[in-house]
Amino acid sequence: MTQITLALSKGRIFEETLPLLAAAGITPSESPESSRKLIIGTNRPDVRLIIVRASDVPTYVQHGAADLGIAGKDVLMEHGGEGLYQPVDLNIAKCRMMVATPVGFDYEGAVQRGARLRVATKYTDTARLHFAAKGVHIDLIKLYGSMELAPLVGLSDVIVDLVSTGGTLKANNLVAVEEICQISSRLVVNQAALKLKHGEIQLIIDAFRRASGV
Ligand code: ATP
Ligand code: MG
């Protein structure tokens, strides 16, 4: 029997993936939220799930430790997508990559003056590309979380972060001033596994594609 390993992250991606798994006839035997297990079986003896940090999903799939995975476009842009086949935009975990500033900060004016901007973000490659394309010079400050704090304490002028409702920005007196791109999660597949286990993997790709309506 061919074994298939699917890499997922906890939280919203796991929740929003459950209906897609169901469409492929896959039901996890336990929830990663309550279980501490990192390898989770399913009702299908040939399919198991591994639970990894969202930003680690492309790495597991690239190296073939997982055959398939689900990762946000934000994560894929930073990873580069090397060795990964990306057959389906699953239309889940949707949000936007935005530039945000403190309320009252004249972002347009700063850009037009050619001011040098201090940018705090977890998404350094994405930010570098975005500001280079605009011809804006930046000092990048790499953070691993809570980007909203940076402008409030003078660490940066602006942040680049994911925004969905804007509630966190608002609560911290920040405002989104520019959209960099729309984000959703994609199915990623190891290219060698797709060749070696083509029949099994293609069935999962097809079920996910039908269930995500694309
Ligand atoms: P961690 O929380 O472990 O630091 P993370 O922030 O990357 O890691 P999640 O918060 O679970 O992990 O986010 C996983 C993915 O969900 C992100 O890569 C992104 O594609 C998407 N996402 C993040 N924030 C939102 C949001 N507010 N609304 C919708 N989708 C989001
Ligand atoms: Mg998070």
Ligand 1 centre from 172 Cα, in Å?
A: 19
Q: Over pLDDT 90: what percentage of the chain?
A: 99
Ligand 1 centre from 27 Cα, in Å?
A: 23
Structural domain harbouring 78: 4-93+184-211
Position 213 scores a pLDDT of: 85
Residues 203 and 137 in one domain: no
Residues 81 and 121 in one domain: no
Task: Say whether 104 sits in a helix, a strand or coil.
Answer: coil
Residues 190 and 166 in one domain: no
pLDDT band for position 214 (cuts 50, 70, 90): low
Nearest-atom index, ligand 1, CA of 11:
11
Residues 100 and 176 in one domain: yes
The residue whose C-alpha atom lies closest to atom 25 belonging to ligand 1 is 95
Position 78 scores a pLDDT of: 97
pLDDT band for position 186 (cuts 50, 70, 90): very high
Comparing CA positions, the residue from 189, 97, 108, 109 lying closest to residue 147 is 97
CA distances from 31 to 27, 48, 207 (A): 10, 13, 22
Residues 8 and 70 in one domain: yes
Residues 25 and 15 in one domain: yes
Structurally, how many domains does the chain consist of?
A: 2
Strands 84-89 and 185-190: antiparallel
- Contact indicator for 117, 110 with CB cutoff of 8 Å: yes
Residues with CB under 6 A from ligand 1: 9, 11-13, 53-55, 72, 74-75, 93-95, 145, 162, 164, 183, 185
pLDDT band for position 47 (cuts 50, 70, 90): very high
Q: In testing the pocket of ligand 1, which one of 8, 13, 16 has its CB within 8 Å of the most ligand atoms?
A: 13
Residues 115 and 196 in one domain: no
Residues 178 and 109 in one domain: yes
Mean pLDDT, rounded, of the chain:
97
Residues 64 and 81 in one domain: yes
Position 9 scores a pLDDT of: 98
Ligand 2 centre from 196 Cα, in Å?
A: 34
Residues 63 and 77 in one domain: yes
The domain that contains 11 carries what CATH number?
Answer: 3.40.190.10
pTM here is 0.95
Residues 120 and 154 in one domain: yes
Residues 89 and 190 in one domain: yes
